[in-house]
Amino acid sequence: MSIYQHFRPEEHAFIDHVLEWKEYALHSYSPKLTDFLDPREQQIVTSIIGSSTDVVVQFFGGADYVERKRALLYPSYYTPETDDYSIKLFEIDYPHKFVNIEHPQVLGSLMSLGLKRSKFGDILAEEQQIQIIVAKEVADYILMNLQSIGKAKIKLIEKDLSAIIHIAESWKEESCTVSSMRLDVIVAEAFNLSRSKASPLINAGLVKVNWKKVEETAFECQEGDMISVRGYGRCKLTTIEGKTKRDKWRIKVTKSK
């Protein structure tokens, strides 16, 4: 039985990387540290490494509750420490009395430095306090080159990981029925939109499934998928319960409040 059949075709290339990481940790007798992975990628790594007795995987992204984490694959006899994950925390100092900085602006400014998204973790914001978690190997580069966000001049201040902002996200579960598992149908139902409004959002690249942009309205959603719509929030397709007598799908979605 092929390991690939359990995953979507677009995830096969990532699976190849995971298998390479596993081989490295197994045959080099040393840990293999990855870039930051989104929760879906972490799930794939966990399912592939799974119950392996030779190679173990742990994840860390600065705190237990953050979404994006680095994976450390290591031989079973190795004992990892926090330093092994090579993570740094910066707080953004900016004139908050005069300007407002939001998550998309921080993300855009970091991406404009020419870095891959996988080189930094969560962007945390609480009121006027903003922090970014980055890979240690690019920390000095970011420190030298990230000097403004939008029109605001900023300064990065390195903080100990113990000072990380704690953001608790609350979720609410809802049950509903849908005519199909198409992305446009699920988005419309989950966010109380019409199909005619949901479809343009998808076509415009404003919808992500499992942290990856999806622009096909007919994309088939699966149980466990995390769906986010820019400007509307996000939801998780937690359960597909089956068909009703009227041939509709009964599902449960969990929405962030």
For residue 29, what pLDDT is reported? 87
Averaged pLDDT in 10-residue chunks for the chain of 257 residues: 83 94 92 97 93 88 95 93 97 92 92 95 93 98 96 95 87 93 96 95 96 95 94 93 94 89
For residue 1, what pLDDT is reported? 57
Q: Give the closest residue to 59 by CA, choosing from 122, 16, 114, 130.
A: 122
Q: How far is CA 113 from CA 4, 52, 106, 108, 130, in A?
A: 35, 38, 11, 9, 18
How would DSSP label each residue in 173-192? EEEEEES--BHHHHHHHHTT
- pTM of the predicted model as reported, rounded to 2 decimal places: 0.86
Cα distance between the two ends of the chain:
41
User: Hey, what amino acid is at 160?
Assistant: D
- Rounded to the nearest 10°, the torsion over CA 58, 64, 69, 73 is -10
Domains of the chain, earliest start first: 3-84 (3.30.1370.160), 87-163 (3.30.70.330), 171-256 (3.10.290.10)
- CA–CA dist 153, 178 (Å, integer): 48
Q: How many residues does the chain have?
A: 257
Q: Give the closest residue to 189 by CA, choosing from 244, 242, 231, 227.
A: 227
In which region does residue 178 sit, left (phi positive, over 0), alpha (psi from -120 to 50) or beta (all else)?
beta
DSSP 6: G
For residue 169, what pLDDT is reported? 75
For residue 257, what pLDDT is reported? 66
For residue 2, what pLDDT is reported? 79
